[in-house]
Structure formats: structure tokens, C-alpha cells
Amino acid sequence: MLPSPAAALRRLLAGPDIVLAPGAADSVTARLVQAAGFPAVYMTGFGATASRLGTPDIGLLSQTEMTEHARNMTRAVGIPVVADADTGYGGPSNIERTVHEHLQAGVAAIHLEDQVAPKRCGQMAGVRLIDAEENAARLRCAVRARGEHDLVIIGRTDALQSAGVDEALQRAARYADAGVDLVFVDGVKTVAEVEKIAAGVPGPKVVSLVDGTDAARLTASDLQELGFDLALFAVTTLFAATRAAADALAGIAATGSLAGGPARHTYDEFTRVVDLAHHQDLDHSFGA
């Protein structure tokens, strides 16, 4: 019997190498992450909101929409999915339901953040925080709701840009004491911030690098040397895909032709991404 996705992720985290989990805004991108050989994929809330609504990440998706998105992604890939569970979507009963829904969806890990609802992307200005002890209690609720299951729970703080690195480190320590498996200081923009977090958070920890920031200069080897256990590249595939799509459309608009433009999959290549052959085999074996 294969281990659960959460158990597989725990094995990876216990290994000697940092776990790299590129972000995926949708299930087809998650398949690309898996095909590229990465051991895990990150279901980014930023990307989920953009792909489903075409809007910024300002807390517009509900718990039901986010868990449905996560469930579709876990069905599409065989590698562990780390899912953005926002703030838990309410009080203790909502947090318990959030944990149970993600367990049922088959995700390997969730992260819960300490923002006032409606939340927003950690890279944006105007983040408002809830009381640190109140959030620690919410994380203890999530840990209890998990019970004996393997689900990895990550305590995330968005204090870095709104309250400074010292407050972020204090919150990370408090959340670690609440019993979460890893802590995650989001919103890093500079190498110096990453280094301060690495030095100030002694236990298992997560880092997320965003394209276009100073911190994006860091390599996986750098992050491993600094002591991070899990690295998320939340928006890289989304930004690459939208840029390529915009360039392809601009080419058609300018020339009226499909010739030229950015590199793209052929029809046959894309059918391999979505595993058309598997469904053709089913139809051949059992169809009319």
C-alpha cells in the first residue's frame, strides 16, 4: 500500500535535502510540475484566485472553492500537494472543518495565516494581523482537528512587511510552540530578510520566493545551507504562463498569423501533459 501524500511529504522533509515545491495555479500546471521531476507542488492561493476569478488575491475565494481546487489538483498528480488554506475561514469550528475538508481532499499539507479576514497576498501592502496568541490558539485547534492523521500543518505569519522582522520572528516562535509542523514567515523581498528569518527561526521552516524580488537571487543550495526545509516558488509558473500567453496573443494581433511568437507545446505534446493516452486506453478497453 502506498503511503498517504502527507506521509510521503513527511519522509521528504525528514530527508537531507530541501523540498522544492513550485506553485501551480491549476491542475494542468501541477502536472507540469510533476513531469519536471519536482517532489511536491504548491497550490498557491494567489494563482487559484487568478485562474478561477481573474482577480487579485484579496480573500475572494471561499473555503469550498479553495478545497475543491485542492481536490482537483490532488487527483491530477501523484506528488504531495501543499495547499494554501488562507486564515481557516472563520472561528474554531470553521478551522476544524477546513482541516477535515483538506484531509478529505487528499492534500499533504496546509498553511494557515494570521491575517484579519479578508486576507490578502503577503507581498501586498495593507496586511492586518490578528492577535498573536489568538492565532496560536487557532493553530492548536487545527492540530487537534487533524487528530492521528499525517496532514502537515504550517503556521504562517504575515507580520514581516506590516510589523517588521522582530515581530515576525516572535510570532513564528509562538506558532511553533502551538504544535505546528513548520513555520512560515511570508512576504520576504530581500536576501537580508531571508537570512534574518533563517537565523531567528530555529525549527523546521518554510520560505517562499517571489519572482522579481531581491530574495529571488537565492538558489535552492543557498536556502538549504540557511536551514530551510521547504521552499515554495509560488508564482513562477503563473507569471511565465501569462507572459507567454500575452506574447502569443500580441503576435496574432500584430500579424494575423500563428507563425512566430513564444515557444509553445504542439497539440501532441499537450495531450501527453493531460495524459490523453490513458483515457484512450480506457475507451478502447471498455467503451462501446
Q: So which residues are the catalytic ones?
A: 121
What would you report as the CA-atom Rg of the chain, rounded to the nearest whole angstrom?
Answer: 20
Q: Measuring CA to CA, which residue among 113, 171, 168, 172 is closest to residue 142?
A: 113
CB 206 within 8 A of CB 228: yes
Q: Measure the CA–CA gap between 17 and 9, rounded to whole angstroms.
A: 12
Q: How many residues does the chain have?
A: 288
Region of 147 on the Ramachandran plot (φ > 0 left; ψ -120 to 50 alpha; else beta) = left
d(CA 27, CA 48): 10
Name the phi and psi angles at 227, rounded to 5: 105, 15
Query: Which alpha helices (DSSP H) does the chain contain, by range?
Result: 5-14, 27-35, 45-53, 63-76, 92-105, 132-146, 159-163, 165-177, 191-200, 220-226, 236-255, 267-273, 276-286
Q: Answer positive or negative: Cα dihedral of 187, 203, 224, 103.
A: negative
Residue 274 near residue 267, CB atoms below 8 Å: no
User: C-alpha cell of 275?
Assistant: 495524459
- Total Cβ atoms within 10 A of residue 217: 11
